[in-house]
Amino acid sequence: MGRRLRRRDRGDAAGLADDGQVDDAGGDGGARQGPRGDDRLGRARLGHQRQLRRRRLELPQGTPGEGHRAGARRPGPAGRPVLPAQRQPVAGRVGDGVRFGILLDHQYAPGDDLGRRIGETVEYVQHIRDLGYDSVFGIHHYLSSLRTPQPLPLLSRLVDHSGTMQLGTGILILPLGHPVHWAEEIATIDQMSGGRFVLGIGSGYRDVEFTSFGIERRTRVSRMNEALSVMQQLWTGEPVHHEGKHFTLDGVRCSVLPMQRPHPPVWVGANGPTGIARIARQGLPWLAPSNVRRNWAVGNLADYREQRRAAGFDERDAVFPIHRDLCVADSAEAAFAVAGEQVKRSYGEYVQYGMDFFESQWDAIKEKALFFGSPDDITAKIQDFADAGYNHFVFRAQWLGLPIERSMEIVERFAREVMPRFRP
C-alpha cells in the first residue's frame, strides 16, 4: 500500500462522515494522552425490549446456541425468531482485543416527532446494551437541515440505560465552544456515567456553523487544539493561567473534575494526512471516518502507527477506532434491499454542504466503504481491518427513513452471528 495509492484513493473517496470529521483535524496544541417515567414505543412493536431488560439477555460465547437446545431460536424484535450464532470464534488472530460500538444517527426529517424519536433512541440503546456492545456514541451539528438533538444532553439521558458501555461523542465540534464550557460539561457527564465517557472531537466543516458562531473557519484546527490543551489543564483541578491565540484564563479552577483521571479518553477525527500525522505526534487515537475506502483507511492507519511510534508512544492498550456503516442480511444484495436507499439518502444530505462526491462517486463508496453483506461477508471485512490494526469498530445502523425495527434487527443479527466469532 504505497503512499501514491493512498493519495489517489483520498482524492476519490475522502470527505466527511456524518460525525463531522473533515479536512485536517488534529494538531500540536493539545497535551499528550496518558494510558488509559422514559418515552416508549408501542407495546405491540417493541414489547420484547421489556422482556430483555427483565432477564438481561446473555449472548452465546464459544459454542453457538450454548445454553439452548441445538437449533433452538430465541425471540427477537416483535416476536421474530433470531438465528443463533453459526460459527466458532476466529481463533488465534484477533481474539477479544476487538470492541464493537454503535454510532447513534439522531438526525431526523424536518417536522418529525422528536419526543417519539428520543424514546426510540432510549429503546435502541437498551437493546444494544443487552446484546453486549461495548460503546455508544452521539453526533454533533448545529443549524442542520435535519432535526439533530445535541449529543451531551442526549447522552446524559442515556446514562441510566447504557449499562457498562462507554458513552461518547463521535464527534464533538470542539472549535464551536469555549474550553471552560466543554471541560465542565464533559466532566459532569463523566461523573454521571461513573467514568465511562469518551470524548471524540473534530474540527468541523460547515460554513453555516462557523459563520453563525462568529468564528473564522480557517482557525478551526488551531482553536480545537488550543481548546483541548486548556481543557486538559482545567481537568488537573489546579488554577489555570493561559493566554493563547484564542482563549485567555486568569487563574481559574474547574469546579467539576472528571471521574477518569487525568481525564476521559480523547479520540480525534481527521481525514487528511496532515491532521492524522499531528494526532500521531500527540499520541492520541485517530478516529477514522466511515465513508473512506478500504485501502485509504488501512494505508493511513499504517502511516499513523509508524508516526506514533516515532514520536515515542508504544501500543500497549492503544485504541485504533473506525466508523463504518453496517447492515447484516442474508447477502450483500439483501442488505442493500433493506437499507440501500436509506443510506444513500443520508449521505445525500451532505451534498448541500459541498460534499458533492457523495453523489458523483456513490457507486464506488457503496462498493468499497460500507459494511453491507452476509454474516460471513461482514466477518471477513472486520478481520481484514482488524489485521491492519483497527480494534474498535463503531457502526451506524440507522439512516433517514429506515424504521427503528430494521436497525434493531441489524444490530441483533450482528451480535448473534458475527460478534461471537471475535470473542472466544
- What domains sit in the chain, N to C, each tagged with a CATH number? 3-174+191-205+268-422 (3.20.20.30)
Q: What is the pLDDT of residue 381?
A: 97
Rounded to a whole number of angstroms, the CA Rg of the chain reads 21
Three-class DSSP category at 371 = strand
pLDDT tens, residue by residue, 113-133: 999 999 999 999 999 999 999
For range 282-289, the mean pLDDT:
97
Percent of the chain residues topping a pLDDT of 90 = 70
pTM: 0.80
At 382, list the grid cell. Answer: 472486520
CA distance 362 to 293: 12
**Quick one: residue 201, left, alpha or beta (phi over 0 = left, psi -120 to 50 = alpha)?**
beta
- Mean pLDDT to the nearest integer, 277-281: 97
Distance of alpha carbon 354 from alpha carbon 421, whole angstroms: 40
CA 324 – CA 411 distance, rounded (Å) = 13
Q: Which of 88-97, 128-137, 165-174, 222-231 has the lowest mean pLDDT?
A: 88-97
* pLDDT in the model for residue 174: 98
Q: How far apart are the C-alpha atoms of 381 and 363, rounded to whole Å? A: 18
What mean pLDDT do residues 348-360 have?
70
| pLDDT tens-digit series, residues 4-25 | 334 334 333 333 333 333 333 3
- For 380, residues 6+ apart whose C-beta sits below 8 A from its C-beta are none
Written as one letter, the residue type at 258 is P
Question: Looking at this protein, which amino acid is placed at residue 257?
Answer: L
Lookup: cell for 104: 447513534
Phi, psi of 97 (to 5 degrees): -75, -10
From CA 166, how far away is CA 163, in angstroms rounded? 9
**Per-residue pLDDT, 104:** 98
pLDDT digit string (tens) for 25-68? Answer: 333 333 434 433 344 333 333 444 444 444 334 444 333 333 23
User: Is the Cβ–Cβ distance between 195 and 261 less than 8 Å?
Assistant: no
Q: How many CB atoms lie within 10 A of CB 266?
A: 23
Separation in Å, CA 384 to CA 100, 103, 359 = 15, 21, 27
Confidence at residue 30, expressed as pLDDT on a 0 to 100 scale: 39
